[in-house]
Amino acid sequence: MMRNRTRLSVEVVYALADQQWVFTVEIPLGGTVRTAIQQSGLVQQWPELEWAQLPVGIFSRRCSLDTPLQAGDRVEIYRPLTVDPKHNRRRRAQQHGIKAAARSPQPAPRPHPQNTPSGDAADRAEHLQQDKTCRDNPSGWRETDR
């Protein structure tokens, strides 16, 4: 059985909220997304839609209407969003009585005593001594600790 090498078989998919359509169409070799959509009959079925303005994709990857197709591709026509998805999730959560998780503020980092203008001189001196001890004695033991 010899395959027809001058035509490609692709699927064109369009869905509404409650219904979906899948058309298998034969397009000429080198055909584009636009060709597949026109051959599917969707343009004639819904002439009120501005097909040239709707986003399209091949296997969930956005593309232009002039993208060439390969055999077995699935052309998807995406509907415009009518509601912001974040707003819709918040509304559903409120309907179910779920409160939004409040972010607890992160505690501010404690400033180094040397860098604080109101730091006590004794605190700064002690901190400097600890730094010097750590540099001079990597084991961390001070003579007074032994």
Instruction: State if pTM tops 0.75.
Output: no
| Reported CATH class of domain 7-77 | alpha beta
pLDDT tens column, 86-124: 888 888 888 887 765 555 666 666 666 555 555 566 666
Query: What is the band of 1 on the pLDDT scale with cuts at 50, 70, 90?
Result: very low
Residue 29, C-beta contacts closer than 8 angstroms, at least 6 positions apart: 5, 6, 7, 8
Closest CA to 73 of 10, 8, 7, 138: 10
- CA 84 centroid distance within chain: 14
